Structure 1
């Protein structure tokens, strides 16, 4: 195996790694916020909004991420929305897709908090919004963190799908190296290792959280 191929293309690998980390970090932040909002709506007492949130979940959990990403990037022009950047399309698709799963994680955590907490807060004179922010969410956080971090792992790996719209993440840069220098086995092995480097810390966090949950 010619290891010099990896070293000579280190700049491309570094660029792809940074692009993947950048997209992952932005999508994690965006889908977490979206998921929390949708979960709050789903557990609210406003039937119309709760039904709209349910429709969103059904659509984005029931269609492939690949299709959503292609539709957002190539379909925007046909819908008269205007041009959207490759990064913007990839971020929006990942946010909407992963946000649907994150919302269900948050909803399960919110519903796992004993109903008596809501009633106790109401007796203390707290509004529903104050109760949600100050009483329910802190308890929900401990419940949802392990599955939430696991979902983030899935998101990081899903960034590779952005290659279909031309985003220069790890997989696309690896393909460029293969097209130019050959050695596909070595190139894709390096990509797999770099994905492992990104995901391994999150995997460790999940395992530690699960162990703490078992011993608690």
Structure 2
């Protein structure tokens, strides 16, 4: 039986945003750890970690996120590891974020003037200490704006988790639409919530980018 779209349905959609936020936060945190390891491997002194990191990045940047969700969800079940949509979405989005953040941060590391790296090497600092004390503190300033920009994309990317049955904002909108048959009201609400989540972050990314641009031109 079709029911009207009212306050109760609106509130159900709003509450579903907590799962979008939770999934984004977990994927971003896990992707941050993985991305740092990937970035460090990409600029390592030895060839093997550079090749492995490059292959990882190309794999996840060269395939759609939707396919990655499918492969994790159905692939793990095929191999006997029963996972629910929440775990599958978390794993897929974390790997996805690791690849993209790793490449973003690799570019930020390489944006540090080569003289800094050469000076650290001349002082006898090993790779880990060069990165910890010299390179990463400078690269982190460059990385803030593109990292926040990627977070916006990650939040919107969580909507694809609906395809494997994870009930986040988009999936809850689909469920409410099936019950009310009010697609304009339902998906306008969903779009408005995504906008409220992403717009402040987009403004922050733009502000950080302008701030860094002014700092580098002085």
TM-score range for the pair, normalised by the shorter chain length? over 0.9
Q: What does residue 171 of structure 1 align with?
A: 170
Q: What does residue 140 of structure 2 align with?
A: 141
Q: CA deviation at 1:213?
A: 2.3
Q: What does residue 155 of structure 2 align with?
A: 156
Q: Which runs of 4+ in 1 moved over 4 A?
A: none
Q: Across the two proteins, how many residue pairs are aligned to each other?
A: 212
In structure 2, C-alpha distance between the alignment counterparts of 1:7 and 1:161, rounded to whole Å: 26
Q: What does residue 115 of structure 1 align with?
A: 114
In structure 1, C-alpha distance between the alignment counterparts of 2:214 and 2:128, rounded to whole Å: 33
| Deviation digits for residues 33-78 of structure 1 (CA, Å, limit 9, x no counterpart) | 1111101001001211211111111111111110110110011121
TM-score, normalised to structure 2, is 0.92
TM-score, normalised to structure 1, is 0.93
Q: Unaligned stretches of 5+ in structure 1?
A: none
Q: What does residue 88 of structure 1 align with?
A: 87
Q: What does residue 203 of structure 1 align with?
A: 202
In structure 2, C-alpha distance between the alignment counterparts of 1:55 and 1:184, rounded to whole Å: 42
In structure 1, C-alpha distance between the alignment counterparts of 2:86 and 2:47, rounded to whole Å: 35
Q: What does residue 42 of structure 2 align with?
A: 42
SS of alignment partner, residue 5 of structure 2? helix
Indicate if the aligned counterparts of 2:28 and 2:94 stay in contact, CA closer than 8 A.
yes
Q: CA deviation at 1:7?
A: 1.1
Indicate if the aligned counterparts of 2:141 and 2:212 stay in contact, CA closer than 8 A.
no
Indicate if the aligned counterparts of 2:10 and 2:189 stay in contact, CA closer than 8 A.
no
SS of alignment partner, residue 125 of structure 2? coil
C-alpha root-mean-square deviation of aligned residues, in Å?
1.4
In structure 2, C-alpha distance between the alignment counterparts of 1:209 and 1:69, rounded to whole Å: 32
